[in-house]
Amino acid sequence: MSDNPYSTAVLAWYETNARDLPWRAPDASPWSILVSEIMLQQTPVVRVLPAWQAWMERWPTPADLAEEPSGEAVRMWNRLGYPRRALRLHACAVAITEEHGGEVPSDHATLLALPGVGSYTAAAVASFAFGQRHAVLDTNVRRVLARAETGIEYPPKTQTKGEVALAESLVPGPPSVAARWAVGVMELGALVCTARSPKCADCPIAGQCAWRLAGKPAHDGPPRRAQTYAGTDRQVRGRLLAVLREAEHPVPKDALDAVWDDGVQRERALDGLVSDGLVDPLDDGRFALPG
DNA sequence: AATGCGTGGAA
DNA sequence: TTTCCAAGCAT
């Protein structure tokens, strides 16, 4: 697997079209790249940018964050969503400080063992921070490969082994080229081969795209999961945690009861937050972010 | 393997 | 207004 039919075109496209993102700066530290990757899990770039800046100013190294209570990470996470990621990023900082001499590990398997670091993030950090050769398969790349190679509009809902094998077969041989391919094909998916209204006129591989060549057949199969939010436990959890994030001090139960009427659901959500480690029930009956 | 887990912007 | 979806992970 030394090359693939698209790599030259994608690499050239990336050279002139890449966004100037701070975690892509030549002097970006592995830690700053890891922080960006955790934040970018399911949160758009535009919302991550200011949060990442503030985070890196406050905690420039893993040791800086590891010194703080995990609740400070949850508070700093603010409204990025999925706040368990903040807890896991804090746990990453502790593990890196205590087990890896304060340096983000470069080995893929070691990265994978860190809290909140899965297959994608381990490959991304190994590739972007350390220039290694890995298949970096995120939602953008899955969509590009579904279209260009498989000829379908959208990839399957859950990642398949076939997709992984395909992605691996396309990784260029030399690590430095592989790393640029990884970021380039991801950027192509983010900017051109988008989920809705792909900009095929601007696509460097449009001439080789199986989906476009087939006339862009519409998505076949069940409609793609419409996620409801209003009224869910997720919404309740969000409201409860927002109260604690914005409070300077531990809050009485009344303050939490005020944000959701359904007591059964409210208790279930609060219990969930406690068992996740996002909320600390104090002995005096009040609640706080974890210390 | 399917589900749960936040939030906000765009169409 | 509603729907979609945005660099996933853990269980």
In 3-state terms, chain A is what percent helix, strand and coil (to 5)?
55, 0, 40
Residue A37: active-site member: yes
Residue A2: predicted pLDDT? 46
A49: Cβ under 7 Å from strand B?
no
Distance CA A15, CA A74 (A): 36
**Which nucleotide has the shortest C1'-to-CA distance from A245?**
B6
Strand B at less than 7 A from CB of A236: no
Q: Which of A37, A72, A149, A187 is catalytic?
A: A37
The 10 Å Cβ neighbour count of residue A140 is 20
The reply to whether A238 has its C-beta less than 7 Å from any atom of strand B is yes
Q: How many CB atoms lie within 10 A of CB A157?
A: 10
pLDDT (0 to 100) of residue A41: 98
Spanning CA of A84 to C1' of B7, the rounded length in angstroms is: 14
pLDDT of residue A226: 66
Residues A115 and A91 sit within 8 Å (Cβ to Cβ): yes
Between CA A20 and CA A175 the distance in angstroms is: 22
DSSP one-letter string for A121-184: HHHHHHHHTT--------HHHHHHHIIIII--SS--SS--HHHHHHHHHTS-SSHHHHHHHHHH
Res A228: pLDDT: 85
**pLDDT at residue number A119:** 98
* First-to-last C-alpha distance (Å) of chain A: 50
Proximity of residue A158 CB to strand B below 7 A? yes
- Positions on chain C within 7 A of a protein C-beta: 3-10
pLDDT tens over chain A, length 291 residues = 447 899 999 999 999 999 999 999 999 999 999 999 999 999 999 999 999 999 999 999 999 999 999 999 999 999 999 999 999 999 999 999 999 999 999 999 999 999 999 999 999 999 999 999 999 999 999 999 999 999 999 999 999 999 999 999 999 999 999 999 999 999 999 999 999 999 999 999 999 999 999 999 998 876 676 678 999 999 999 999 999 999 999 999 999 999 999 999 999 999 999 999 999 999 999 999 998
Contact A9, A209 (CB under 8 A): no
Evaluate if the CB of A42 falls below 7 Å from strand B.
yes
Nearest protein residue to the C1' atom of C8, measured from CA: A41
C-alpha span between A107 and A109 (Å, rounded)? 6
